[in-house]
């Protein structure tokens, strides 16, 4: 098996990030640093180390976390800010977030140690839908709603059609639900700002068919095997 696939399968990092680990000289096979991407390992016999730690075929873990605002969706932060890793400390294994939510966004975040699964979930080609409860400043109007639904011109191009509904009209703000099928950086905030209604707070409530259910803020649960299978089916459908 190719070394980068072996690392990804063992939950060390995605395939692409594993290639970087190799080129950075952080991976050894049988005591030798390996820099070639094409290196083939014998999964039965070879001893693979990443940063000096033995890598072995590891049990796959899939969690659904209700991320609180104030936590970064990263494995570590050079600036020492709280990360979602602190919320899953009791899980053994090198987990990482499947995609990202902004630090001030709360809600549904999957965490896993399965690199192939992660790639499928976040790849834009697979269009998994995500729903966000979005509180925007001001009383939103029909033109803005239509614009959000039809596509908003952002600096990285027009957004794909979205579904938007008003959940609650308040005095000086509006709670809307936006369903998107892309996953661009800060997408919902940029879309709302572009139509003149900046986001006050954002919560992801759905990822495909997954919902937060009654999971408390900061809590997680393991995904059921049928849910993992369902996500694979969603990602690989036509």
Cβ of residue 70: shortest distance to ligand URA, in angstroms? 13
**Catalytic annotation present for 238:** no
Residue from 3, 19, 65, 189 touching ligand URA (CB under 6 A): that is 189
- Tell me how crowded residue 84 is: count the other CB atoms within 10 A of its CB: 24
User: Does 162 interact with ligand URA (rule: CB under 6 A)?
Assistant: no
Q: Which is nearer to ligand URA, 102 or 177 (CB)?
A: 102
User: Does 187 interact with ligand URA (rule: CB under 6 A)?
Assistant: yes
User: Does 120 interact with ligand URA (rule: CB under 6 A)?
Assistant: no
Restricting to residues 197-216, name those near ligand URA by CB under 6 A.
202
- Percent helix, strand and coil across the chain, each to the nearest 5: 25, 30, 45
Q: How far is CA 2 from the centre of its chain?
A: 25
Give the DSSP letter of residue 6: H
Q: Token match 């692409």: residue?
A: 16
Restricting to residues 56-85, name those near ligand URA by CB under 6 A.
none
Angle at which helix 115-122 crosses helix 225-236, to 10 degrees, equals: 50
Q: Which is nearer to ligand URA, 73 or 113 (CB)?
A: 73
Restricting to residues 88-107, name those near ligand URA by CB under 6 A.
101-102, 105
Length of the chain in residues, anyone?
A: 238
Residue from 182, 186, 227, 232 touching ligand URA (CB under 6 A): that is 186
Q: Which is nearer to ligand URA, 18 or 105 (CB)?
A: 105
Closest CA to 191 of 202, 20, 119, 221: 202
Q: Which is nearer to ligand URA, 65 or 188 (CB)?
A: 188
Cβ of residue 134: shortest distance to ligand URA, in angstroms? 9
Cα distances (angstroms) measured from residue 128 to each of 3, 64, 156, 198: 29, 16, 20, 25
Cα distances (angstroms) measured from residue 201 to each of 30, 70, 180: 50, 12, 17
Residue ranges in contact with ligand URA by CB under 6 A: 101-102, 105, 186-189, 202
| Residues involved in catalysis | 102
């Amino acid at each position: 098996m190719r070394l980068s696939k072996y690392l990804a399968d063992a939950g060390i990092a995605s395939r692409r990030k594993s290639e970087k680990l190799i080129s950075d000289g952080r991976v050894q096979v049988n005591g030798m640093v390996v820099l070639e991407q094409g290196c083939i390992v014998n999964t039965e016999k070879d001893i693979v180390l990443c940063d000096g730690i033995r890598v072995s075929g590891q049990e796959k873990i899939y969690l659904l976390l209700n991320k609180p605002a104030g936590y970064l969706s990263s494995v570590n932060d050079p600036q020492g800010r709280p990360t979602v890793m602190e919320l899953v400390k009791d899980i053994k294994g090198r987990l990482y977030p499947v995609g990202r939510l902004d630090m001030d966004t709360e809600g549904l975040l999957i965490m896993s140690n399965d690199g192939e699964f992660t790639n499928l979930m976040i790849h834009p080609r697979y269009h998994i839908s995500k729903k966000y409860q979005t509180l925007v400043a001001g009383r939103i109007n029909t033109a803005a709603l239509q614009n959000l639904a039809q596509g908003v011109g952002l600096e990285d191009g027009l957004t794909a059609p979205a579904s938007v509904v008003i959940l609650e009209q308040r005095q000086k703000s509006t709670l809307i639900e936006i369903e998107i099928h892309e996953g661009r950086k800060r997408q919902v905030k940029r879309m709302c700002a572009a139509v003149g209604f900046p986001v006050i707070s954002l919560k992801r409530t759905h990822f495909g068919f997954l919902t937060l259910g009654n999971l408390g803020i900061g809590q997680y649960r393991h995904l059921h095997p049928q849910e993992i299978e369902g996500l694979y089916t969603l990602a690989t459908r036509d």
